[in-house]
Copies of this chain bind each other. A is one copy, B any other.
Amino acid sequence: MLKTLEPTQETFQQFEKKYKALADAKRLEILHLVQKHSSVCVCDLAEMIDMPQSKLSYHLKLLLEAGYLTVKKKGTWNYYSIHDEELNNVLSPELCCLFRNEDKC
């Protein structure tokens, strides 16, 4: 059908969560760094961004819960990567360039 459905309260709440995760300079920097390195473990990232580990883990958790990151465990290390589809759903194409490597950028 062609008709646009009226967004519900729930819709707005879902986007609130998505945007809240992006509403922090440090988390945006984290996303950018993760993108740049494709896959990074917490300790390396903590060094790059100069942030205490527990703090970083907190921010990673928010980004993860919002769907912007994925994790893979390797031994004691947790490697984080960008979840492109989720980011693309939310960000304008111009902004995606900040968080993805694309030919067109």
A residues neighboring B (CB under 8 Å)? 4, 7, 9, 11-13, 15-16, 19-20, 22-26, 28-29, 32, 88-95, 97-98, 105
Contact = CB atoms under 8 A, between A and B. Distances in A.
Contacts of A11: 98
Contacts of A23: 16, 19-20, 22-23
A82 to B, nearest CB: 15
Q: Is the interface of A mostly helix, strand, loop or mixed?
A: helix
B12 A28 contact: yes
Nearest to A36: B6
Nearest to A24: B16
A97 to B, nearest CB: 7
